[in-house]
Chain A
């Protein structure tokens, strides 16, 4: 709503410059009356109004009227307007829009007529003949003269015409002005980058980055990021391990800015933070373990398309902003809010490249199966994130299988190597089935359940193959062998040694998604960490706007 001050109010002072750099000050006016005209170059109503203001200037300036045009544009656009209408009155630049904001109007042109002591005599925005007539009469009265006839019969002017939106209301400008005026309500501590420091070097020196440069989270950028969610900035989303520090929407937005996210990605980052900070996911353990794992984010539902998240070729690779920055934002949340840093709580021996970022979408459109989130209890049209503690992707190369039975066995044989071929029941795995492989399963009418059963069948190994031996001292620990298979001496019985163990404790430990490029019979799997209360379980959460 317009806050343009009306008659009786006092007009705000200002100090601007002309395009040539000459000062234009509006403070204690020595003239009888001053008319301020705010305009911008791409407004037809301004172009309709400015010649009339020029006429007013020509007729009343000898009697003491001062006219000041105030342009919302830069030098070049302003000069074009002055030339087009042969304006002879002073024109000042308000391209920072501070003065426009002070005057509170919604639309240009905005005209403000003042008398002595900056008392406003008349004001209006847009164009209406009655308002112009009223303003003209007030100006003439202030100058103690007769009002001129501004509008001629041949002008063909309409009775009224709405103005155009003041540039103050452009979203970026509104945010910038809010910051400059201290109107923002963000609670985060402000840190001033020393004036001689490069912002990127400064942030790196403070340990706030992940080894790559981060975008400086200025207040304007964070305000823009927060427009990506309807949640209040002060809402606490989760408590982030290891410090169990509260992650507000605002703090997550700050880190999302640093990661390079666009505002529409923010709800995904928020949902991923919420999912990763659950007891089941056990982020503290995922972080602290010497093992490889990192939070792998899988996105399902309509939001994939809305944010152009890559679900196809080069799935785990570079080149896709949503994928690259959402995963990175979660890692920065863990680092900066939770305090989890390599060499500190993060004790991984080798880590994996996905600890920079790992976020992918399921190519639901290419799958005959229920997508991951539907299997996990969500509606198909609900957008979700699933976080999974995963290793780096590993290849399943099978260009020869022509039947689902054979391809399922191939996948099982590759999955057998997860963690170690002689280990069984070592946690969950994320199986990523590529489009060329899914077409084989589809042709043979294979369901996800069929594939899981085939993998369990193909990975079944006799206990004696899994136990440590002289050839390879690694293998299934004796404490993991069910007591029913042990004899009185505590060693496996002959029958026990022939008992088969499949790789996965339960079929549901195999998470299946479809994704990747349409060319290539190359699927992949990501090994997990450890099952149960001591390990990490995949967690799915709805993405809320």
Chain B
């Protein structure tokens, strides 16, 4: 008899949830967080970004934040801080 084959789901059974990008602001205002993921020389790049932004948008409040290490996900405390303090975030990968 040709019965249909039934297999067991090997996954965690959480339906894949597509991640959508956050809505991009039309203009920067409030507090901008610049997050360094702690890759070597990422700070050099972000220093330059910060200098350019401060020059062009002097009214913007710019803060610097940093992950302890690029090899692990951000700690919850850092994510909470970004959420609480920042209206926009720049986070860059450097290599």
How far does the Cβ of B18 sit from chain A's closest Cβ, in whole Å?
A: 12
Q: Provide the residues of chain B in CB contact with A242, threshold 8 Å.
A: 73
Say whether B2 contacts A188, CB under 8 Å.
Answer: no
Say whether B11 contacts A336, CB under 8 Å.
Answer: yes
Q: Provide the residues of chain B in CB contact with A543, threshold 8 Å.
A: none
Give the complex CA separation of A11 and B8 in angstroms: 35
Say whether B71 contacts A218, CB under 8 Å.
Answer: no
Q: Provide the residues of chain B in CB contact with A245, threshold 8 Å.
A: 12, 14
How far does the Cβ of A434 sit from chain B's closest Cβ, in whole Å?
A: 33
Of the residues B7, B13, B72, contact of A218 by C-beta under 8 Å: B7
Given contacts A290-B95, A535-B71, whether A188 and B12 have CB atoms under 8 Å apart is: no
> How many B residues touch A, CB cutoff 8 Å?
20
Instruction: Choose among B7, B71, B72, B95 the residue with the greatest number of A CB atoms under 10 Å from its CB.
Output: B7
Interface residues in B18-57 by Cβ distance below 8 A to A read 40
Say whether A254 contacts B72, CB under 8 Å.
Answer: no
Say whether A193 contacts B5, CB under 8 Å.
Answer: yes
> How many A residues touch B, CB cutoff 8 Å?
44
Q: Provide the residues of chain B in CB contact with A109, threshold 8 Å.
A: none
Q: Provide the residues of chain B in CB contact with A477, threshold 8 Å.
A: 40
Of the residues A195, A219, A243, A338, contact of B8 by C-beta under 8 Å: A219
Give the complex CA separation of A243 and B11 in angstroms: 11
How far does the Cβ of B77 sit from chain A's closest Cβ, in whole Å?
A: 16
Q: Tell me, yes or no, whether B4 is within 8 Å of chain A by CB.
A: yes
Closest chain B residue, CB of each to CB of A290? B95
How far does the Cβ of A286 sit from chain B's closest Cβ, in whole Å?
A: 9
Say whether B10 contacts A251, CB under 8 Å.
Answer: yes
Q: Provide the residues of chain A in CB contact with B9, threshold 8 Å.
A: 188-191, 254
Give the complex CA separation of A188 and B73 in angstroms: 29
Say whether A189 contacts B8, CB under 8 Å.
Answer: yes
Interface residues in B70-95 by Cβ distance below 8 A to A read 70-73, 95
18 contacts between A and B (CB under 8 A): A189-B8, A190-B8, A191-B7, A199-B5, A203-B7, A216-B5, A217-B8, A217-B10, A218-B7, A219-B8, A251-B12, A282-B72, A336-B10, A338-B12, A533-B69, A534-B69, A534-B71, A535-B71
Given contacts A193-B4, A242-B73, A534-B71, 7 further A-B contacts (CB under 8 A): A189-B13, A193-B6, A240-B12, A254-B10, A258-B10, A282-B72, A336-B10
